[in-house]
Chain A
Amino acid sequence: MRNFLLRRILFAIITLLVVSAVVFIIFSLVPFDPAALSCGQRCTEQIIEGNRIKLGFDKPLYMQYLLFLSGIFFGRSYGSGSAAFNCPAPSFGYSFNENACVTDLLRESLPVTISLALGALILWLTVGVSLGIIAARFKNKWPDRVSSIFVLLGTSLPTFVTGLALLIWVTIKWKLVPLSLVGYTSLFENPFKFFQYFILPWITLAIAYAALYTRFTRAAVLETLGEDYIRTARAKGVKERTVLFKHTMRAVFAPIITLAGLDFAGLIGGAIITETIFNLPGLGRLTLRSVFEFDLPVVLATTILAASVVIVMNLIVDMLYAVLDPRVRI
């Protein structure tokens, strides 16, 4: 187990290095000069050149990359003298557009995205898995048909439609949830406001995912119910309820966890559409804004962050799998 872990962590680090290098190279090829972009209205060659030196764009590419990497571990300062500014570790660069360290921008938006993704995950797992079990249990009967309508709607309606519909009907017409103008409140500060703030975004995201999970769970349960070992359980005289919730669900659990881990990782990269509709200052919106403004340090950082979350989640899922499935004990 320890060797496996060490090996996997080593691989994860190598993958991250490769991903960050590739992203770095791609962004260096973009035909925009970040130094010029952040120059302002009264721009002169000197200011651009000054910016370039300040941001380190005058150095060769590999040096820029090494500086970027060392910034993550040791922090980085830009410029010199009284105009110097310092981004402490972990530093992912400096956004000239925002005049802020990228790390601070991430630090503001990451909690929003995590809250969004985590809440949606809990919601869609609960709804999707339960509906899937019910659909499988009552295969071809009315509960199955109702759930298949839900699956069809959930998979075919894009989030910008469900999101906008929720916003229009629930918030504006029926006024069930007040339109939040105050912005993000942390769960620990004010749980009630937190739920009020996130409930519609959660539902929007969860509907799409719950539909997929309903379909997946239904198929997995039905497949498992046909397994020989389920027949063995019945032959022992085990109650049908126990057959379903213990013997069957135990086997269905592992693949669902895998799927959930990867989907969650994908969402941390930013649920751009949902965040935009509900005006959530999360990672997706940050990325979107940076892309439009050619704020390359931020784009670079969010891309690498999204990649790392996927890699780390993969590692976690693999370890969970080893715990859940005795056949993969390492």
Chain B
Amino acid sequence: MAELLRIENLHVAFPTDDGLVRAVDGVSLTLNEGETVAIVGESGSGKTVTGLSVMGLHKKGSAQLSGSIHLKVGDSSLDIVTATDEEIRLARGRAVAMIFQDPMSSLHPYYRIGNQLAEGYLVHNPGKKKEALKRAIEMLDLVGIAEPDQRAHEYPHQFSGGMRQRVMIAMALMNSPRVLIADEPTTALDVTVQAQILILLASLQKEFNMGILLITHDLGVVAQVADKVSVMYAGRIVEQGSADDVFYKPAAPYTLGLLKSVPRISTHGSERLKAIPGQPPSLINLPIGCAFEPRCEFSTYAASDICATERPDLLGISPTHLSRCHVAEATRDRLFEEELKEVR
């Protein structure tokens, strides 16, 4: 499997009047052909910022990037962090495409769907207007829109939410990108449509052999489609591994908290939803120690007050399963096992 995307030690910070907002703080991950990598985390954990960084969509001047994002463009590799605007522009659509969170506002209200799709093709194939429109209709058909040649003449407001998300997917696929970043592609949709969109994405992935970077906070979605999972908290990856590892052998307290807070149809009658207590820290004033320490129920099991004073590193439990936690592995396994019993 060829490697399509390698993010190494990515930092993204936004200067504001109140101070520097460290939205992404040392993220590394890789994405291979035909693979789905999920980035999971709550709002403000840096998932979307990571995705936008790969697209090079942060405004120059308003975002400070460091580290590297190696994206496979053609046969060579392009570092998005240091690339010129023009290099990034040419990579967009072909090497990497993105499906955005809100299909309601992500389509231009004044242009016909067919033209909006065709535009993406025309950017990379100038002058081929007829082909572009033909391809637009093909893509609309592919994502399951009935009567695509007629609907291509319609405007976004004539489409339902699910249909618009399909249009967004079709738009992202116009140039058969190698990497597809799907930023909460199902959040704005109702559950039945969510399933349809996920199935659609999976089948398109097979067809195009795409690598998908799936950004979501929905663990149900992750369980269905992801091969690898990175769990983010306060701009850092706190756990990274195969989907099985992360779901069945969670190794970071935050991951455990997420798993425990998934609502389930309980046999014990009216049980309250288990939420992680507290709030995520401010990204301007991150704690010196572990960012999750103030909310963590396991910090007492670590040596002295190390959780509050020292930032844990992302360490390997196995070569492919990493976690960021000061609590000794054996203790953690025992404690988590207890907790997971309730969940299962």
Which has the most chain B C-beta neighbours within 10 Å: A231, A232, A235? A235
Which has the most chain A C-beta neighbours within 10 Å: B57, B91, B109? B109
**A236 in the interface (beta carbon within 8 A):** yes
**B22 in the interface (beta carbon within 8 A):** no
A232: contacting residue among B85, B124, B171, CB under 8 A: B171
Quick one: closest A residue to B175, CB to CB? A237
- Whether B57 contacts A231 by the Cβ 8 Å rule is yes
Find residues 150-176 in chain B having any chain A CB closer than 8 Å to their own CB. Answer: 155, 157, 168, 171-172, 174
- Whether B92 contacts A251 by the Cβ 8 Å rule is no
- Whether A228 contacts B100 by the Cβ 8 Å rule is yes
- Whether B106 contacts A236 by the Cβ 8 Å rule is no
**A58 in the interface (beta carbon within 8 A):** no
- Whether A235 contacts B92 by the Cβ 8 Å rule is yes
- Whether A229 contacts B106 by the Cβ 8 Å rule is yes
Q: Decide: A227 near B105, CB < 8 A? Known: A237-B89, A239-B89, A326-B110.
A: yes
- Whether B106 contacts A231 by the Cβ 8 Å rule is yes
**A193 in the interface (beta carbon within 8 A):** no
**B108 in the interface (beta carbon within 8 A):** yes
B57: A residues at CB distance < 8 A: 231, 234-235
- Whether A236 contacts B110 by the Cβ 8 Å rule is no
**B241 in the interface (beta carbon within 8 A):** no
B94: A residues at CB distance < 8 A: 237
Q: Decide: A232 near B107, CB < 8 A? Known: A237-B94, A237-B120, A238-B123.
A: yes
Q: B residues engaging A (CB < 8 A)?
A: 55, 57, 85, 89-94, 97-98, 100, 102, 105-111, 119-120, 123-124, 155, 157, 168, 171-172, 174
- Bound-state CA distance A2–B194 (Å) is 41
A-B contact pairs, 6 of them (CB 8 A): A229-B107, A232-B106, A232-B171, A237-B120, A238-B123, A326-B157
Give the Cβ gap from B169 to chain A, nearest Cβ, in Å.
12
**A233 in the interface (beta carbon within 8 A):** yes
- Whether A240 contacts B120 by the Cβ 8 Å rule is no
- Whether A234 contacts B155 by the Cβ 8 Å rule is no
B110: contacting residue among A232, A238, A239, A251, CB under 8 A: A251
- Whether A237 contacts B123 by the Cβ 8 Å rule is yes
**A327 in the interface (beta carbon within 8 A):** yes
Interface residue total, chain A, C-beta cutoff 8 A: 20
A-side interface mostly: helix
A237: B residues at CB distance < 8 A: 89-94, 120, 123-124
B91: A residues at CB distance < 8 A: 237
**A107 in the interface (beta carbon within 8 A):** no
- Whether A247 contacts B89 by the Cβ 8 Å rule is no
- Whether A327 contacts B108 by the Cβ 8 Å rule is no
Give the Cβ gap from B116 to chain A, nearest Cβ, in Å.
8
A233: B residues at CB distance < 8 A: 108, 119
**A59 in the interface (beta carbon within 8 A):** no
B124: A residues at CB distance < 8 A: 237
Give the Cβ gap from A141 to chain B, nearest Cβ, in Å.
10
Find residues 193-228 in chain A having any chain B CB closer than 8 Å to their own CB. Answer: 227-228
B168: A residues at CB distance < 8 A: 232
A98: B residues at CB distance < 8 A: none
Give 7 A-B pairs besides A235-B97, A238-B119 with Cβ atoms closer than 8 angstroms: A228-B100, A228-B102, A233-B119, A235-B100, A237-B91, A237-B120, A247-B108
- Bound-state CA distance A237–B90 (Å) is 6
Query: Hey, what's the 0/1 contact readout for A289-330 against B, CB within 8 Å counting as 1?
Result: 000000000000000000000000000000000001111000
- Whether B105 contacts A236 by the Cβ 8 Å rule is no
- Bound-state CA distance A234–B119 (Å) is 11
A250: B residues at CB distance < 8 A: 108, 110-111
Give the Cβ gap from A228 to chain B, nearest Cβ, in Å.
4
- Bound-state CA distance A327–B112 (Å) is 11
